[in-house]
């Protein structure tokens, strides 16, 4: 049961990153792919009416984490204190920039919010990347199961670490590149004209760049955590995750080469999903790894709620999950196809 809930919570966070990652990517590239006000409206229209639905995956993740792993939420959120607030502020800025940027038909107004949008998207991609790096590297958990982490200490990866060090910074850079590539792939599919062409060029460039970065990150991870992947390689889910990555990467490459936009985007989603999923399987059952003493690490079994809480949640959660996706399918079908600025004045009045 606890392992299942570990998967559910991991799935929700992964779904959030994959879904909102495209918006971060589109946001980071906003000024690069869209040159005119009309083109910028295409980008905002492509992010579409569902960006807040994407963001709800993060909210749903937070709530579900509290319900099924309350002690983890308490430890991790208090420990990652400053980083989390930066993420929250970034999300506020990003949301507001999307919503109000088109309210006034004035060049200065729109340029201001465009820049806020780009800045917040970069900030979020980098912070989520650093957060992923922190999950892999571990945090300075003490014997009581608490930690409090500074932004940075000595940029080393052992002992009393900070949020940023050479490893987490490089994961953050990798995340920014991959999410930008993901966003570019999405924009390629959703737009026409100049935005489409520039997005396509960016998608190729960024995906090519992410290959060597991925190799570098893998080597770094091996140095930082020589104990990984460890016993996880015997888990069939681990192999499945890698298989998803390989197949998706093949789809992505062939989609990019043959200009099959949907195939490329499905591949792009699959690559992110597979990478994060494999990472989750590798870390299981540890949810927070201690850089001080491995024995201080918090496993899913140590932080889980009562069996009754897990049982009750497993009754209603699947219902809510099916409903949530039904709404998504309903709305997505209505917004299928390329963005039309005439029809979709998302965010514009």
Partner 1 sequence: MGPGVSDPAFWSRFQFAFTVTYHYLFPQLTMGLAWFLVYWKWRALRSGDRRFDQAVRFWAKIFGLNLAVGVVTGIPMEFQFGTNWAGFSRYAGGVVGQTLAMEGMFAFFLESAFVGALIWGEKRLGPRYHFVATLAVAVGSWLSGYFILVTNAFMQHPVGYRIEADGSLGIESLGAYLLNPWAWVQFAHNQMAALVTGSFVIAAVGAFYALQGLHPMQARLCLRAGTCVGLIASVLVAFPTGDQQAKMVGRHQPVTLAAMEGRFVGGPMAGVAMIGQPNVAARRLDNPIELPGALSFLAYGTFESYVHGLEEYPEDVWPDNIELLYYAFHLMITLGTLFIVLMAYGTFQSWRGRLESSAPLLWVLMLAFPFPYIANTLGWMTAELGRQPWLVFGLFRTREGYSQVVSNGDTIFTLIGFVGLYFVLGLLFLFLVGREIARGPGEVAAAPRRAEQPA
C-alpha to C-alpha distance for 230 and 226, rounded to whole angstroms:
9
β-bridge mates for residue 348, sequence order: 102
The 8 Å CB, 24+ separation contacts for 92-96 are 93/119, 93/120, 93/123, 94/23, 94/27, 94/120, 94/121, 94/124, 95/51, 95/52, 95/55
- Scanning 161-169, 212-220, 257-265, 305-313 for contacts with partner 1 by CB under 8 A, the matching segment is 305-313
Angle (deg, nearest 10), helices 37-47 and 193-224: 50
- Number of C-beta neighbours around residue 26 at 10 A: 30
- Scanning 34-42, 82-90, 169-177, 184-192 for contacts with partner 1 by CB under 8 A, the matching segment is 82-90
122 vs 348 by CB, closer to partner 1: 348
Torsion-angle region of residue 138: left (phi > 0), alpha (psi -120 to 50) or beta? left
Least CB distance from residue 59 to partner 1, whole Å? 4
84 vs 242 by CB, closer to partner 1: 84
Least CB distance from residue 96 to partner 1, whole Å? 6
Q: Is 312 in the site for partner 1 (CB under 8 A)?
A: yes
Q: Is 220 in the site for partner 1 (CB under 8 A)?
A: no
Least CB distance from residue 132 to partner 1, whole Å? 18
How does DSSP classify residue 298?
A: E
45 vs 274 by CB, closer to partner 1: 45
Least CB distance from residue 203 to partner 1, whole Å? 25
Angle at 342 between CA 57 and CA 189, to 5 degrees: 50
208 vs 312 by CB, closer to partner 1: 312
Q: Is 11 in the site for partner 1 (CB under 8 A)?
A: no
Q: Is 160 in the site for partner 1 (CB under 8 A)?
A: no
Q: Is 301 in the site for partner 1 (CB under 8 A)?
A: no
Binding mask 90-119 vs partner 1 (x if CB under 8 A, - otherwise)? -xx--xx--xx--xx---------------
3-state helix, strand, coil in the chain (%, to 5): 75, 5, 20
Handedness of CA 100, 88, 112, 45 (dihedral sign): negative
Q: Is 321 in the site for partner 1 (CB under 8 A)?
A: yes
| Cβ–Cβ under 8 Å, residues 256 and 204 | yes
The 8 Å CB, 24+ separation contacts for 250-258 are 252/185, 252/207, 253/207, 256/185, 256/200, 256/203, 256/204, 256/207
**Tokens standing for residue 249:** 């990467």
- Scanning 68-76, 170-178, 193-201, 291-299 for contacts with partner 1 by CB under 8 A, the matching segment is 68-76
Binding mask 125-154 vs partner 1 (x if CB under 8 A, - otherwise)? ---------------------xxx------
Give, in order, the Cα–Cα distances in Å from 207 to each of 47, 129, 198, 210. 20, 17, 14, 5
Q: Is 89 in the site for partner 1 (CB under 8 A)?
A: yes
> Binders of partner 1: how many residues, by CB under 8 A?
70
Binding mask 264-283 vs partner 1 (x if CB under 8 A, - otherwise)? --------------------
Interface with partner 1 (CB under 8 A), residue from 26, 76, 224, 275: 76
- Which chain residues interact with partner 1 by CB under 8 A? 48-53, 55-56, 58-68, 70-71, 73-79, 81-82, 84-85, 88-89, 91-92, 95-96, 99-100, 103-104, 146-148, 305-306, 308-309, 312-313, 316-317, 320-321, 323-324, 327-328, 330-331, 334-335, 342-347, 349
């Amino acid at each position: 049961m606890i392992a299942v809930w570990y998967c559910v919570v991991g799935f929700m966070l992964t779904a959030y990153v994959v879904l909102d990652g495209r918006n971060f990517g589109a946001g980071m590239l906003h000024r690069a792919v869209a040159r005119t006000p009309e083109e910028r409206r295409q980008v905002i229209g492509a992010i579409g009416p569902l960006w807040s639905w994407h963001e709800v995956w993060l909210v749903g993740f937070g709530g579900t984490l509290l319900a099924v792993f309350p002690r983890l939420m308490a430890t991790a959120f208090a420990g990652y204190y400053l980083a989390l607030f930066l993420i929250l502020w970034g999300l506020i800025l990003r949301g507001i920039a999307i919503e109000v940027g088109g309210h006034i038909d004035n060049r200065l107004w729109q340029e201001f919010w465009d820049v806020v949008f780009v800045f917040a998207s970069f900030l979020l991609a980098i912070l989520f990347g650093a957060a992923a790096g922190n999950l892999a590297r571990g945090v300075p958990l003490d014997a009581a199961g608490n930690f409090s982490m500074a932004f940075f200490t000595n940029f080393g990866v052992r002992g009393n670490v900070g949020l940023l060090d050479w490893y987490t910074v490089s994961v953050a850079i990798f995340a920014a590149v991959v999410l930008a590539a993901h966003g570019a792939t999405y924009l390629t599919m959703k737009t026409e004209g100049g935005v489409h062409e520039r997005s396509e060029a960016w998608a190729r460039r960024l995906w090519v760049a992410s290959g060597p970065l991925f190799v570098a990150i893998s080597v770094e991870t091996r140095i930082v955590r020589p104990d990984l992947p460890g016993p996880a390689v015997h888990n069939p889910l681990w192999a499945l995750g890698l298989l998803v990555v390989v197949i998706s990467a093949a789809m992505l490459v062939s989609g990019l080469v043959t200009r099959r936009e949907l195939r490329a985007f499905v591949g792009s989603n699959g690559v992110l999903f597979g990478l994060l999923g494999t990472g989750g399987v590798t870390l299981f059952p540890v949810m927070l790894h201690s850089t001080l003493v491995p024995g201080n690490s918090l496993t899913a079994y140590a932080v889980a709620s009562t069996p009754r809480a897990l049982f009750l949640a497993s009754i209603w959660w699947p219902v809510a999950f099916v409903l949530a996706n039904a709404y998504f399918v309903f709305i997505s079908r209505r917004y299928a196809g390329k963005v039309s600025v005439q029809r979709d004045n998302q965010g514009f009045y």
